[in-house]
Amino acid sequence: MKTFLKNIFLFFAFSLLLFICILFCYVLKTGVTIHEIPPPYLSNSYSFNDKVLFSHNKKADILAIGSSMSLNNLDSHTIIEELNTNSYLNIGAWGLCMKDCFQLLKIYTAIHQPKTCIISSNLTDFEQKMINIKYEGLKDFLLSDTNQIYKYHLKYFNARYYSKYFGYSKIVKQQKDIYEFLGYDEYGAVLFDSLHFNKSIYRWLNPGFEKLHENQYVYLDSISIFCKSNNIQLLFFQSPFRAGLYKESVPRLNIAKINEHIQRVKKIITDNGHEFVNSNNNTWEDNLFVDGIHFNSIGAKLYTEYCFKQLKLINNKTTSKTTFN
Amino acid sequence: MLFNSFSFALFLPIVFILYWFIINKTHKVQNVLLLAASYFFYGCWDWRFLFLLIFSTFLDFFTGLKIYHSTSPLNRKIWLIISVTVNLGFLVFFKYFNFFASSFAELLQSCGFKPDFATLTIILPVGISFYTFHGLSYVFDIYNKKIEPTTRWIDYSLFVSFFPLLIAGPIERATHLLPQVEVARKFNYNKAVDGLRQILWGLFNKIVIADNCAEYANNIFNNSANYSGSTLLVGAILFAFQIYGDFSGYSNIALGVARLFGFELLRNFAFPYFSRSISEFWRRWHISLSSWFKDYLYIPLGGSKGTTLNKIRNTFAIFLVSGFWHGANWTFIFWGGLNALFIMPSVFKKSSKTNLEIVAKGKLLPSAKDAMNILLTFLLTVFAWIFFRAESVTYAFHYIAHIFSVTIFQKPEQLPIWLVIFIGIFMLIEWLGREQQYAIAATGLKWKRPFRWLFYFCIAFSIFYYAGSEQQFIYFQF
């Protein structure tokens, strides 16, 4: 028995030593520090985890929810001016689909009781994504004290995630010319630099969607009904493609499919008495974008202004068509 | 409390230290401690079902004694019927009530009636399929005069409720485990080390192989309409490795934990994916369940004796019942029937008892014929697993139809290379260790200690690296 316990102890000591060596080599190679620890592992999406950490202990009456179409394409200052409020929070994160939005909306509604919910969306949000969010722990995390965050690091510890993202925060918070940039404004939006941006040719030519998933429309319908039953005003902005994409992309943009999608979404939104703005009625020049669907800061401002202008026109039962460049 | 949870990592050493250091005196005291630990372990799932477990244990203990002491054959039979009826009654109620109610309602609807059936919200007591079968085997063996009943309640209760096997087996026999329960266990260094080694390998199977395969297999099965045929084939293959890693991982942990306390449980897996025929596969997959059905259903029905028609009937009977045992869904019954169909050639050729030894025994590589047979058997099992995994039989047929569409020639959208490499390494280790009780039972035993420990460290590190949130074991739902 003594030999057994002694050998177990020795094996643990041996393993610990090897582990420390591996850790030391990792730190030496990457140069990371303890301050660059990633946000708690509440999902397999870094952007989402980072946004959850950003929205921790914040309250707002107006929420923008969705994918990078909300994160990057909505200009916060336009929104707070148009809606005449400071109580605004953008909780958009990369790759969230309608299914995620519905689940998150329920959680954030329980915490914030918002009056208005804004969704900026494109066809990419109706694809099936592989983001797995730990919803059971999310609400607790959002309501927890700041000094309790370490508990969620321990509870959801995942070595693979920490090894992959240790030091990543430094890159995404500082490097403004990459798509992964997460330098939030005070409301949680990220606007891309309009002058110096490292554009990817692949993304520039990519419309961002392939196969739309039927379930995602059902989830949008659930969002629409949920907002109605909770007296939340839902503003749904259909985000556009850059103009050049209609000529350059291979295969060509399937305009019939896009129109079918837009009509379907419009019906889901308006049937429940909410507001729908289709920005595809306009031409959006290439210099407003960083890729096929993501605006730069100037584009985001013009797009958000356009959406609110259209809202007013819709309310006045008129339409307009302008070209921004 | 899952085997792959932090709470179990605390529970196990505490019970181990108490068991060997504090109260290691007589087998009675050892059994009291293990029984208390087992009830605590079970109570952590849902303490309310602890009463059901205790009642079921008491029923079989009592009827076992009654059967043994009854002098008239009629009384013996009556006590047996009482035990079987009550045991299966609980199982049917908790596991199959809604299935029967909804199937009956559908049948009436198809006949033009409009039934107004309400299904009940019934929580399935974890492990009920396993401990019911433990108890039934005990009663059957007493009835068949294979064993004498124990008069010690604690010993019998431990046999039924021993925590490593309580939730998902192996399904033990009184002839095998009860004699071990009835004597004091003495600490054996080699056995304990072997137990730890098997736990390590079980955790690797579960956390590194099964949970990673699950991530991709679940995504593909849940979104099959969005993927090409080749991706769906990848999904089915990944599920085959998921369920193997999951259940063999659980079984390895259970056997390893039991060994730490001085018990030898029945082996549950013997490298089934190296089988050369479906009949061999079923001798190597979930062995404790297969042998249970063989002993208490197949042989009483006549087994492989009698006319070919009888053999076909008996084979279909055990596979359909085995499928139904897994869950209240037509998919499991279909899966069982499909396996019975696959096994028919060996029934007709009377070749079900060939390939008794592990493939290529004493050799490094199999013959070309064996390799082809292994591949064919694996593909047939993958095909059958689609029904096991699918939500409905219709969905399974759609899934299969989509696999065999023209898109099967497309490049799969989901094929993580690192996972393929891990599965490759896993199968290589399994192949090299296929003549042992489990893959790494003898790996590195002749190496110098630092190298052996380095090997164990690599396994432990990969478990640590891939460990995320606790993932439920698939067989816990059965």
Share of chain B above pLDDT 70, in %: 95
- Residue B40 pLDDT > 60, yes or no? yes
The model's pTM is 0.79
**C-alpha to C-alpha distance for A229 and B328, rounded to whole angstroms:** 37
- Residue B242 pLDDT > 90, yes or no? yes
Which positions ≥6 away from A207 have C-beta within 8 Å? A123, A241, A245, A249, A253, A292, A293
**C-alpha to C-alpha distance for A274 and A228, rounded to whole angstroms:** 8
Q: Identify the pLDDT of residue B122.
A: 64
Q: Give exposure, A213-242, as e/b (b: 16+ Cβ within 10 Å).
A: bebbbebbbbbbebbeeeebbbbbbbbbbb
How far off is chain A from B68, nearest CA to CA, in Å? 41
Chain A residues closer than 8 Å to B468 by CB: 41, 156, 158, 160-161
Q: Identify the pLDDT of residue B228.
A: 87
Q: Identify the pLDDT of residue A254.
A: 79
User: Does any CB of chain B come closer than 8 Å to the CB of residue A136?
Assistant: no
Chain B residues closer than 8 Å to A8 by CB: 196
Share of chain B above pLDDT 90, in %: 57
- Residue B119 pLDDT > 70, yes or no? no
> In a 10 Å sphere around its CB, with 0-12 CB exposed, 13-18 middle and 19+ buried, how is residue B78 labelled?
middle
Q: Identify the pLDDT of residue A90.
A: 95
**C-alpha to C-alpha distance for B248 and B242, rounded to whole angstroms:** 10
Q: Name the token pair of A100.
A: 């995620």
| Residues belonging to chain B with any Cβ–Cβ distance to chain A shorter than 8 Å | 20-21, 187, 189, 192-193, 196, 215, 219, 223, 225-226, 450, 453-454, 456-457, 460-461, 464-469
- Residue B100 pLDDT > 80, yes or no? no
The DSSP code for B208 is I
Q: Identify the pLDDT of residue A320.
A: 46
Q: Identify the pLDDT of residue B477.
A: 59
Nearest CA in chain A to B192: A4
**C-alpha to C-alpha distance for B237 and B213, rounded to whole angstroms:** 9
Q: E strands within A125-174?
A: none
Higher-pLDDT residue of B360 and B163 is B163
Q: Identify the pLDDT of residue A318.
A: 46
User: Does any CB of chain B come closer than 8 Å to the CB of residue A135?
Assistant: no
Nearest CA in chain B to A156: B469
Quick check: helix, strand or coil at residue A198?
coil
How far off is chain B from A15, nearest CA to CA, in Å? 6
User: Does any CB of chain B come closer than 8 Å to the CB of residue A154?
Assistant: no
Nearest CA in chain B to A41: B468
Mutate to test the interface with B, among A12, A41, A128 (most CBs of B within 10 A): A128
Scan residues 210-229 of A and list those with Cβ closer than 8 Å to B.
Answer: 211, 213-214
Q: What is the mean pLDDT of each run of 10 residues along chain A (325 residues)?
A: 89 92 86 82 91 90 94 94 91 92 93 92 85 86 87 86 83 88 93 87 81 88 94 94 79 80 94 92 90 93 94 70 44
Chain B residues closer than 8 Å to A161 by CB: 468
Mutate to test the interface with A, among B5, B454, B466, B469 (most CBs of A within 10 A): B469
Note whether A159 contacts B467, CB cutoff 8 Å: yes
Q: Identify the pLDDT of residue A155.
A: 84
Pick the most confident of B86-95, B228-237, B299-308.
Answer: B228-237
User: Does any CB of chain B come closer than 8 Å to the CB of residue A134?
Assistant: yes
Note whether B196 contacts A8, CB cutoff 8 Å: yes
- Cβ(B49)–Cβ(B40) below 8 Å: no
ipTM of the complex: 0.77
**C-alpha to C-alpha distance for B277 and B283, rounded to whole angstroms:** 10
- Cβ(A31)–Cβ(A167) below 8 Å: yes
> Residues A104, A106, A107, A112: is their CA dihedral positive or negative?
positive
Note whether B20 contacts A1, CB cutoff 8 Å: yes
Q: Identify the pLDDT of residue B92.
A: 84
Query: For all residues of chain B together, what is the average pLDDT?
Result: 88
- Cβ(B230)–Cβ(B406) below 8 Å: no
Note whether B468 contacts A11, CB cutoff 8 Å: no
Note whether A213 contacts B465, CB cutoff 8 Å: no
Q: Identify the pLDDT of residue A309.
A: 93
Least CB–CB distance from B469: residue in A11, A156, A214 = A156
Q: Identify the pLDDT of residue B121.
A: 62
Amino acid identity for residue B378 in this structure: F
A156-170, B310-324, B382-396: the lowest-pLDDT one: A156-170
Least CB–CB distance from A4: residue in B192, B215, B466 = B192
Q: Name the token pair of B277.
A: 């025929």
- Exactly one of B27, B134, B286, B326 is catalytic; name it: B326
Note whether B464 contacts A130, CB cutoff 8 Å: no
Q: E strands within chain A?
A: 62-65, 88-90, 116-121, 233-238, 275-278, 283-284, 323-324
User: Does any CB of chain B come closer than 8 Å to the CB of residue A1?
Assistant: yes
**C-alpha to C-alpha distance for B58 and B131, rounded to whole angstroms:** 12
User: Does any CB of chain B come closer than 8 Å to the CB of residue A158?
Assistant: yes
Active site residue B326: yes
Nearest to B135 by CA among B154, B152, B157, B153: B157
Mean pLDDT of B79-99: 86
Least CB–CB distance from A128: residue in B223, B464, B469 = B223
Specify the length of chain B in residues.
Answer: 478
A–B CB contacts, 8 A cutoff, strictly below: 52
Q: Identify the pLDDT of residue A321.
A: 45
Chain B residues closer than 8 Å to A158 by CB: 467-469
Chain A residues closer than 8 Å to B219 by CB: 128, 130
- Return the C-alpha torsion angle B290, B295, B297, B299, nearest 10: 120
Which tens digits make up the pLDDT trace of B405-431? 888 888 888 788 888 999 999 999 999
**C-alpha to C-alpha distance for A324 and A306, rounded to whole angstroms:** 9
Least CB–CB distance from A1: residue in B187, B219, B466 = B187
Least CB–CB distance from A134: residue in B193, B215, B469 = B469
Chain B residues closer than 8 Å to A151 by CB: none
Q: How far is residue B34 from each of residues B253, B261, B262, B353, measured CA to CA in Å?
A: 17, 9, 12, 39
Amino acid identity for residue B301 in this structure: L
Nearest to B167 by CA among B279, B292, B43: B43
